[in-house]
Structure 1
Amino acid sequence: MRAAAVAVPYRLLRNVMIAAGVLYCSLLLEAAAGFPLDVHQSFLSELGALDQATSPYARAMDLGAGALLLIAAILGRGAARLHRDLAGLLISAAVFGAGTLFDSFSPMDCAPSVSAACRAAEANGQAGAALVLHEVTSTVAGLGSIAIGIFAVLVLRRLGWGGVWDRVVAVLAAGVAVTQTWLGIETGVEVLTGDDLHAPGILQRVSVLLVCLMLATVLPGLRQAFPR
């Protein structure tokens, strides 16, 4: 198959992914809002809780990031026909985008780290369907981000590891996989045992930062994989 037949708008795709990385970085909103939550005890998703002043902005950022990732998957569909690893990368971006997009439509009713009543309702299983749906969509997004990193490394292995961007993407992908898995295990243990997490805030913020950086650098790092 000729490259011309699967030409990909690489620059547009790259810029869309970078924009998605910026919008997904809710750390920027948290800083702009003056750190309204305890960074040690809270999850960044609590910025989107309906009882928080930051809710419209956090949900808009998730909506924008999710939509851009879905657009990126569509823009790159020509390259997906060339190699399975590229197809896996773009499908993972779509999964991540869908999870993030639906996150914006399923915010928590309240922020547990701020409200004792909210924590009590959550502990007693009275938080409602909104929390369950939010946990599901967040899990989908987390798995999608890990998969992006895995497929990015597979593409790099096929192309070689010669460039600086290649190494940057590989390190960020590994960081995302480790921190997201660690956070997932801690959250799963909490759900199964009913015990509170041990100050998950910093770990989650580090993980989100790594995801944002990975999204912004994955296309520059894999530019040779996309026919133009």
Structure 2
Amino acid sequence: MVAVPYRLVRNLLIAAAVLYCSLLLEAAAGFPLDVRTSFLSELGARDQSTSLYARAMDLSSSVLTLVAVLLARRSRELAGLLIGTAVFAVGTMFDSFSPMDCAPSASAACQANGQAGGALVLHEATSTIAGVGTIAMAVFVLLVLRRHGRRGRMVAVLAGGVLVTQVWLGSVVAFETLSGAEVAAPGILQRVSTLLFCLFLGTLLPGLRQALSR
């Protein structure tokens, strides 16, 4: 941790966490989509008034996260965590460049047309990459804290919450895709998972520093 420019990386991750928290944009826009049935990524769909803002927030968040990873790259002990963080950032960056054509939850025509066809497939792929990155981050944080026999309580709890909700959300989406059956309120689960991840990202470095410096 000595080689890491702590304050700069910490501030970059806090800024990235705030920008990634698209629940703030959703609230500012007056909740334009049904939170029970929609996903936050639909705010970035080309047919939504929030599209430009949502994509700009994702892009900015991913760039700040990648810069933080590059600055912290000499921390060998956290190499696995940094790789997972980079995967999340790259997935989020490509997410911002590959929005859906329309928001499926808000348009019957969009659903009838295969939910924007190839654009949806590409978006789902990039979202999956970002999701894998968040899961990897949570796993590596728990492993690092366990290895040192000391837990930064807050970051450990948040890491566990991110891991559980991301795996749960992935299972729900996979079940819905394969079975064709609608799952109740996946949007709420995703928003809970996103909020936990934003808190996790913003407290990641302080939590690890506290745990590893004891």
Q: Does TM, scored on the shorter chain, surpass 0.5?
A: yes
Structure 2: gaps of 5 or more residues: none
1:113 aligns with 2:105: yes
- What's the TM-score, normalizing by structure 1? 0.89
Matches for 1:1-228 after TM superposition, within 5 Å: 7-80=3-76, 83=77, 86-122=78-114, 127-161=116-150, 166-223=152-209
Distance 1:98 1:22 in 2: 17
Report the identity percentage: 68
- Assess if the C-alpha contact under 8 Å between 2:14 and 2:202 holds in 1: yes
Q: Secondary structure at the match of 1:122?
A: coil
State the one-letter code of the partner of 1:96: F
RMSD, matched Cα: 1.6
Q: Distance in 1 between matches of 2:37 and 2:210?
A: 42
Q: Give the SS at the match of 1:87.
A: helix
CA positional deviation for 1:193: 1.3
Any conservation in 2 of the 1:17–1:69 contact (CA below 8 Å)? yes
What is the letter of the counterpart of residue 189 of structure 1?
F
Other structure's SS at 1:78 match: coil
Shift of residue 194, structure 1, vs aligned partner: 1.6
- Cα contact 1:17–1:215 (8 A) shared by 2: yes
1:201 positional shift: 1.0
Q: Which has the larger radius of gyration?
A: 1
The answer to whether the 8 Å contact 1:8/1:226 transfers is: no
**AA in 2 matched with 1:130:** A
Residue-pair matches, total: 213
Which segments of structure 1 move beyond 6 Å, counting only runs of 4 or more?
Answer: none
Give the CA deviation at 1:7: 1.8
Structure 1 residue runs without a partner (length 5+): none
State which drifts further: 19-28 or 216-225. 216-225
CA distance in 2 between partners of 1:95 and 1:47 (Å): 22
TM-score (norm 2): 0.95
How far did 1:30 drift? 0.3
Asked if 2 retains the 8 angstrom alpha-carbon contact of 1:100 and 1:137, the reply is yes
Q: Secondary structure at the match of 2:114?
A: helix
CA distance in 2, matches of 1:33, 1:161: 42
Q: 1:188 to 1:90 in 2, by over 3 A?
A: same
